[in-house]
Amino acid sequence: MVCTISGPNGNQAFDPASFAEEKVAEIRRFVGEGKAAIATSGGVDSTVCAALAHRALGDKLVCFFLDTGFMREGEAKEVGGILTSLGLPLRVLQVSDRFMEGLKGKADAESKRIAFRQTFYTVLGEAARAEGCDVLIQGTIAPDWIETAGGIKTQHNVLEQLGVDTRSAFGFRLLEPLLDLYKDQVRRLAVFLGVDLPVAQRQPFPGPGLMVRCIGEVTREKMDLLRKATRIVEGELSKLSPPPKQYFAAVAEDDRRGADERIARSAVGASGKAWYLGARATGVKGDERAYGRMVVVDPGTLSDPAELFWVTDKVIHEDWGVVRVLLSVKERDHGGYAVIVRSVETRDFMTAKPTPVPRAVLERVASSVMEDERVGLVCYDLTSKPPATVEFE
């Protein structure tokens, strides 16, 4: 059956059966008589790629799950169940200490992504060679390399498009069967390959995991707090009907700094207030990466986010260095961290709009999150993509 979907390049006919047949033959030609490795986080892209590669190679494929320490609560067990249900030969690598060491002292988002990539492929290369694999198959899709090549942010799974020679750098040849697909096409391919519908429709989870939602330097304390906040946010927002396309929590230091009076006046009026957070986040302006400020606004009334989406344009008009505008949901004087709730609607993740989450839902989230005394502020991200990216780093 030929499926017509709408992507960033307009309507495109996509036939999952023909695509799978073509790629199975390509994988077999590329791997030859040898063996191949694949790493999956349990996300849609890597899981679908693993299912496709397994169809082509059978027991000549070795599937790795890297427990980097940046997984959600119970993630490793859940992913293991998903992969084994597909009949994939799974190897779990406990490597959190190596990733934490590689990120030590790094607060800049791009530096963190590059450090993660280096550790990820070094570890994976070692494991692949130990299993006799000289080919790595991975589920890079079109938005990954488009954003990386465009300078918006370095996706950890983009290598050859940046001129990285994977054979000399990490000891393997690289094959990317999904390179030209967008998210909707990947989901249709998942259904064709027999991947369970809940997995096919699973909301995206980035390869670097919670690292890209831990704004600034990654510490074990921040990761512990982020895992707890993620569980609360996902639990509450999953109950919305329909659920948002993607929803999650992020964490940063609660470092409040005074904002220009023009921002507060133009955005929330005389009864409200606005301030900067000290941490910076990744955005996109003019098709280029913008590593900029986050502004928190408090209109002084209990407004639903949908009533304040217009505020983003006002704030950025006053300060072009701002890439995100956050609505203060609940705050207190003590607490070292700010938790930010992000929820978006999108078709292809190339652009996105914030979800109009009811204020009452956000209040419940904030109350639960702030049971942890380390949290001093809970916010909701009002910003579209662009000027913000979906993820924070």
Q: What's the pLDDT at 12?
A: 58
Q: What's the pLDDT at 11?
A: 41
Q: What's the pLDDT at 374?
A: 97
CA atoms within 13 A on the CB side of 286: 4
Collapsing DSSP states into helix, strand and coil, what is residue 73? Answer: coil
What's the rounded Cα separation, in Å, for the pair 346 and 350? 8
| From-to residues of CATH 3.40.50.620 in the chain | 3-200
Per-residue pLDDT tens for 162-189? 556 677 778 888 999 999 999 889 999 9
Considering the domain delimited by 214-381, tell me its CATH architecture: 2-Layer Sandwich (3.30)
Q: Which of 202, 197, 168 is nearest to 46 (CA)?
A: 202
Stretches where the chain sits below pLDDT 50 are: 1-11
Q: CATH number of 3-200: 3.30.70.1450, 3.30.1050.10, 3.40.50.300, 3.40.50.620?
A: 3.40.50.620
| From-to residues of CATH 3.30.300.10 in the chain | 214-381
Q: What are phi and psi of 364, to 5 degrees?
A: -65, -45
Decide if 276 contacts 257 (C-beta within 8 A): yes
Q: What's the pLDDT at 266?
A: 80
pTM of the model: 0.84
What's the rounded Cα separation, in Å, for the pair 135 and 38? 9
Q: What's the pLDDT at 170?
A: 81
